[in-house]
Amino acid sequence: MSKYTIVVCDHIHEDGLNILQTTEDINYVYAADIDKTALLDVIKDADVAITRSSTDVDEKFLNAANNLKAVIRAGVGYDNVDMEGCSKRGIIAMNVPTANTIAAVELTMAHMLSCMRKFPYAHNQLKLDRIWKREDWYGNELYGKKLGVIGFGNIGHRVALRAKSFEMDVVTYDPYIPSTKATDLGIEYTTNFADILDCDIITIHTPKNQETLNMIGETEIAKMKDGVILINCARGGLYNEDALYNNLKSGKIAMAGIDVFIKEPATDNKLIDLDNVTVTAHLGANTKESQRKIATQAAENAIESARGIAYPNALNLPIDESKIPSFVKPYIELTQKMAFLTAQSDKSAIRSISVCAEGEIKDYLESLSTFATVGALSVCAGNEVNYVNATFMAEEKGISFDTCEISHNSGYSNKVTVKVTTEKGVNTISGTVFDENVQRIVDINGFAFDIEPKGNMIMLRNSDVPGVIGEVGKTLGDNDVNIADFRLSRGKDGALAVILVDSKVNHELLNKLENLEAAISVAYAEI
Asked whether residue 113 falls in the same domain as residue 247, the answer is: yes
For residue 265, whether the previous peptide bond is cis, meaning omega lies within 30 degrees of 0, is: yes
- Do 355 and 407 lie in one domain? The reply is yes
Q: What is the CATH number of the domain that holds 353?
A: 3.30.1330.90
Residue 176, domain CATH: 3.40.50.720
What is residue 285's DSSP assignment? T
Confidence bin at 192 (pLDDT 50/70/90) = very high
Catalytic one of 264, 395, 452, 517: 264
DSSP string, 375-389: HHHHHHHGGG--TTT
Q: What is the mean pLDDT of residues 270-287?
A: 95
- pLDDT number for residue 318: 57
Same domain, 92 and 109: no
Q: Which residue range is the domain that position 488 belongs to?
A: 455-527
Distance CA 126, CA 68 (A): 55
* Percent of the chain predicted with pLDDT > 90: 73
pLDDT over 90 (residue 313): no
Kindly tell me if the per-residue pLDDT of 434 is higher than 70: yes
Nearest alpha-carbon partner for 291 in 77, 14, 93: 14
- Smallest CA-to-CA distance from 298 within 65, 60, 100 is with 100
Q: What is the pLDDT of residue 383?
A: 61
Distance CA 516, CA 460 (A): 10
Say what the pLDDT of residue 319 is: 55
Q: What is the pLDDT of residue 150?
A: 97
Instruction: Classify burial at 143, counting beta carbons within 10 Å of its beta carbon; exposed 0-12, middle 13-18, buried 19 or more.
Output: exposed
Is the domain of 332 the same as that of 438? yes
Catalytic residue among 106, 282, 300, 461: 282
Note whether 295 and 347 are same-domain residues.
Answer: no
* Ramachandran bin of 382, using left for φ above 0, alpha for ψ from -120 to 50, beta for the remaining angles: left
Domain count for the chain, please give it.
Answer: 4
Task: Name the H helices within 22-100.
Answer: 36-42, 59-64, 83-88
On whether both 423 and 475 belong to a single domain, the answer is no
Average of pLDDT values for 164-193? 95
Tens of pLDDT, residue by residue over 31-82, are: 999 999 999 999 999 999 999 988 999 999 999 999 999 999 998 878 789 9
Give the pLDDT confidence of 84-127 residue by residue, as tens digits. 888 878 789 999 988 899 999 999 999 999 999 999 999 999 99
**This prediction's pTM:** 0.76
Pick the last residue of a domain from 394, 425, 453. Answer: 453
- Whether 471 is catalytic is no
State yes or no: is 307 an active-site residue: no
**Residue 131: what pLDDT?**
96
Q: Which amino acid is at 252?
A: K
Catalytic residue among 235, 241, 300, 461: 235
Question: Is the domain of 27 the same as that of 169?
Answer: no
- Highest-scoring range by mean pLDDT, 142-146, 388-392, 509-513: 142-146
Under 8 Å between Cβ of 46 and 66: no
The tens digit of pLDDT for each residue in 317-366 reads 655 555 667 788 889 889 999 999 999 888 889 999 999 999 999 988 98
Please confirm, yes or no, whether 235 is among the known catalytic residues.
Answer: yes
Q: Are residues 133 and 151 in the same domain?
A: yes
How would residue 208 be classed by pLDDT, with cut points 50, 70 and 90? confident
pLDDT surpassing 70 at residue 418: yes
The pLDDT of residue 266 is 95
